[in-house]
Amino acid sequence: MNRPFLIYGLSGLCLGGLILLALSLGVAGFGWGDHHTLLILRAPRVVAALAAGLALGVGGGAQQGLFRNPLADPGLTGVFGGALAGIAVLLTFQSEIAWRQTSVLPLAAFGGALLASVALVILGNNKSPGRLLLTGLGINAFTAAIVIVLATLSPTSRELLTNGAYGDWLGLAAFRFTWLPCTLCVIASLCLFRFGTAWDYLSFGPEVAQTLGINLLRTQRWSILLTALAAAAATCLVGQIAFIGLLAPHLARTLIGPRHRLMLPLAGILGATLLLAADTAGRTLWTSTPLSAAGVMALIGAPLFIWIARQHHV
């Protein structure tokens, strides 16, 4: 039996089953519920979790491929932080436009994510793997500080921003707002698949990659632009969420090997599965006090992160 085929089949089945489960589980218990519950409450939330999870898994794998660092993850390197800070700036200074124009929020998030990515490349790249992560840590702390300061300044958006920082926005999902970020998640992920071979060659060092015909500057620019877009779109849907971008590609590599063309789509499927599972568990296990998807993810993800870090001797 063809192993990649089997793994894709099984993970697809898992995800399909999980989608059905997520659609049929709610505060009222098990069941499809009425038309309103299914289509207005649950479906947008499930679609948002799937799209964001896809973008997180693929974006994480892309960032790891570009930086040649198994511990790179947009949540840890400050790119999500940048996206949230961009949203915070918009909500604080131009909140009326943000609610009238649905396209403005993703744009602000994209601006913030791109700024954070460029800072990461300029300050932390091409040295040691540790330096990249330390720089990301600094950017993360700085963007978090921006969000805290802005949330303090604007009482109207304080609750929204705090929920975003906790990764608790999936509950707000409504197709009216989420169709654009969802579409952007899918587009960014599909575009990122194209760079698989370039990141494979980069594994052997930038010099070998270049002599094999890769235009390094163009690859770097497009990878950063597209990972920032994926991170920004996912942030608009979920808020801040770490570890999926780290775990999904790592699991995919363990299951199917490190070749990016084969691994990245699986990382996307696994990212969607992880986020939907975390969100569904968070909202149904304790219905009186629902947990955010990011909270559930961090509970499982943080110990796994330490395990991966130990494996790679970073």
Partner 1 sequence: MSNPLVQLTAVSLEIKGRRILDGVSLTAHAGEIVSLLGPNGAGKSTLLKTIAGLLPQATGTLHVHEHDPRTTSPATLAAQRVYAPQNPQSTWDYRLSDLPILLHPRIASIDWFAHFQLAGLMSKKFSELSGGEQKAAHLAFSLSSLGDPYQKIILWDEPTNGLDLSRQHLVRTTLTQLAQAGACVLVATHDLTLAYATTQTAVLEEGRLIAYGRPQATLTPEIIQSTWGIDLSLLASK
Report the residue from 160, 188, 214, 294 that binds partner 1 according to the rule CB under 8 A.
214
Determine contact, residues 156/95, Cβ cutoff 8 Å.
yes
User: Which token pair is 143?
Assistant: 């963007």
Question: In sequence order, what E strands does the chain have?
Answer: 25-26, 29-30
Residue 311's CB is within 10 A of a number of other CB atoms, namely: 11
Task: Show the site string, 257-276: x = touches partner 1 by CB under 8 A, - = not.
Answer: xxx-----------------
User: Which token pair is 118?
Assistant: 């460029």
Site for partner 1 in 162-201 (CB under 8 A): 197, 200-201
In our burial notation (b when 16+ CB lie closer than 10 A, e otherwise), range 28-53 reads: eeeeebeeebbeebbbbbbbbbbbbb
By beta-carbon proximity to partner 1, the closer residue of 76 and 91 is 76
Site for partner 1 in 47-76 (CB under 8 A): 68-70
Q: Applying CB under 8 A, which part among 97-105, 232-240, 251-259, 295-303 lies near partner 1?
A: 251-259
Report the residue from 128, 152, 203, 287 that binds partner 1 according to the rule CB under 8 A.
203
* CA 236 to chain CA mean position, Å: 10
Site membership for partner 1, residue 213 (CB under 8 A): yes
- Regarding beta strands 25-26 and 29-30, do their DSSP bridges make them parallel or antiparallel, or are they unpaired? antiparallel
Q: Applying CB under 8 A, which part among 111-119, 147-155, 184-192, 254-262 lies near partner 1?
A: 254-262
DSSP code at position 291: P
Of the candidates 213, 219, 244, the residue with the CA atom closest to the CA atom of residue 61: 244
Report the residue from 205, 221, 285, 306 that binds partner 1 according to the rule CB under 8 A.
205
For the bound state, the minimum distance from the C-beta of residue 269 to partner 1, rounded and expressed in Å, comes to 19
By beta-carbon proximity to partner 1, the closer residue of 66 and 184 is 66
Site membership for partner 1, residue 158 (CB under 8 A): no
Site membership for partner 1, residue 114 (CB under 8 A): no
Tokens 């720089």 appear where?
135
Q: Which positions lie near partner 1, rule CB under 8 A?
A: 68-70, 197, 200-205, 207-208, 210-216, 253, 257-259
